[in-house]
Structure 1
Amino acid sequence: MFSRTSARCFTQVRSYATKKKLVRHNPDAVELSQAVQILKAFEVGNPSHQIEAHVQCKIEKSTPLIRGSIVLPKNIKQEATILVFATGKKADEARAAGAHFVGGEELIEQVQNGELKFDKCIATPQMFPKVTKIARILGPKGLMPTVKKGTVTDDITNTVTTSKGAFDFKGDKFGVLHTGIGKVNFEEKDIEANLKAILEELKVFGKTNNLKAFIQNVVISSTRGPGIVIAGGSSL
């Protein structure tokens, strides 16, 4: 039997769907807070289901692939496994900061042999020339340290700390970003904060590439719920 809370949630969903005709193919734009409430109502009994955002961005032929990495206000995934190529004092800093694998040339050999699994890779400037030997292994996986990404650095402590909680996102070739922004059991304010943080990062990407009106529209959905267009999504 449904609990009173469950019955009330489904009543809310049914009422909203009837009045607004909320279906995937003809959604009405609603405020972000209301959209989150609706998805939570659809997902009663599924606290671990994911809530996602689908952001349509305006791109041009010369626009690079949309991608970024931020620390979300509310983490939605397990802490990343960090590998650091460093020796001496910098190696000690990496271990103290919580890096999972730390070492010099011996670590390069282990990576070459496929002995280690990790999510992020950092190198000191001193170790970087040696790390280029395994660029063909790290590059295709998006793990090759680079100065541009801030993963070739002497600031090991801060970089490791940030990387452990970093959330990576990437758009497709059509300029659409599909990304998780939370789980059903998250507080509404946390889901909203995560989405807004990602949108802010996208706005920076747009400005950097001289793209006006970069964010076109925002839709949020859940594992079993509908896609809901967010009112004023481009200006959140």
Structure 2
Amino acid sequence: MGKIGKRLQAARAAFEGKEEITVEDAVALIKANASAKFDETVEIAMNLGVDPRHADQMVRGTVNLPNGTGKTVRVAVFARGPKADEAKAAGADIVGAEDLMESIQGGTIDFDRCIATPDMMPIVGRLGKILGPRNLMPNPKIGTVTMDVKEAVEAAKGGQVQFKAEKAGVVHAGVGKASFDADKLVENVRAFVDAVAKAKPTGAKGTYLKKISLSSSMGPGVSVDVSNATAG
């Protein structure tokens, strides 16, 4: 534990006094201090001026990161017949119907994204209490309840990121790996911020984008200048 303590201490010292910096400077700082023995994920947290308990202030959506996430995404698809074949051909890891439902009910959740054709929703609906809290429930608003399973599977595999505001109005996600080129990380960060900005709900009052922070999996966070992060 001592080594971890020293590494974190050094990172915190490097980050000290740096606030509201540009996305470019934040990415450079994170890359320079991501010293874990694995390829750390670069994470973004956005504090929004919303109260998600109100339906007209819920923020959710998807964004296709231009440079992907660097993460291998396992995709499960609820489909039958030709649509099941289409899902398999597109690269889905798990495809099924009642058998997949029973597997999930039995505690096997070996996937990161769940997609369903509309006719499968009566089956999928029974899994709400299991998939909902894990943010895995298929939803037509974010394109995971669809007849175009090929596009949905390919998007999930290709770096599409889902986002949803939590109770405190915070949205967070992984936007790449520390090993990515700095310019690719910057591009991903701006794409994510832009998508969340465009998802501003009708009920949002006052300042919508309040604070943006970046960090690596094992490192401290640094706040980013909101106006710089939203620059075109």
TM over 0.5: yes
Residue number in structure 2 paired with 1:193: 187
Question: Which amino acid is the alignment partner of residue 216 of structure 1?
Answer: K
Whether the 8 Å CA contact 2:57–2:201 is kept in 1: the answer is no
Of 86, 93, 114, the residue aligned with 1:121 is 114
The structural deviation recorded for 1:91 is 1.1
CA distance in 2, matches of 1:232, 1:57: 14
Task: Map 1:1-236 onto structure 2 (within 5 A).
Answer: 23=16, 26-43=17-34, 48-60=39-51, 62=54, 64-164=57-157, 165-206=159-200, 208-211=202-205, 213-222=207-216, 223-224=218-219, 227-230=222-225, 232-233=227-228, 235-236=230-231
Whether the 8 Å CA contact 2:59–2:165 is kept in 1: the answer is yes
The structural deviation recorded for 1:95 is 0.7
* Cα deviation code 1:29-78 (max 9, x no counterpart): 33322332233334478782343333222224735444433221222342
Identity %: 33
Question: Which amino acid is the alignment partner of residue 227 of structure 1?
Answer: V
* Cα deviation code 1:146-174 (max 9, x no counterpart): 33332222111111111223223344433
SS at match of 2:188: helix
Give ranges in structure 1 of 5+ residues lacking alignment. Answer: 1-9
The structural deviation recorded for 1:208 is 4.9
Give ranges in structure 2 of 5+ residues lacking alignment. Answer: 1-9
The structural deviation recorded for 1:184 is 2.7
* TM-score, with length taken from structure 2: 0.75
CA distance in 2, matches of 1:232, 1:185: 26
CA distance in 1, matches of 2:180, 2:63: 19
What is the root-mean-square deviation in Å for CA atoms of aligned residues? 3.1
Residue number in structure 2 paired with 1:6: none
Q: CA 1:229 to 1:129, structure 2 compared with 1: closer, same or farther past 3 Å?
A: closer
CA distance in 2, matches of 1:155, 1:52: 30
* TM-score, with length taken from structure 1: 0.74
SS at match of 1:140: coil
Q: CA 1:198 to 1:113, structure 2 compared with 1: closer, same or farther past 3 Å?
A: same
Question: Which amino acid is the alignment partner of residue 230 of structure 2?
Answer: S
Whether the 8 Å CA contact 2:61–2:141 is kept in 1: the answer is no
- Report the count of equivalent residues: 216
The structural deviation recorded for 1:205 is 1.6
Whether the 8 Å CA contact 2:79–2:96 is kept in 1: the answer is yes
Q: Which moved more, 1:197-206 or 1:111-120?
A: 111-120
Where relative contact order (Cα < 8 A, 6+ residues apart) is larger, the structure is 2
CA distance in 2, matches of 1:221, 1:143: 24
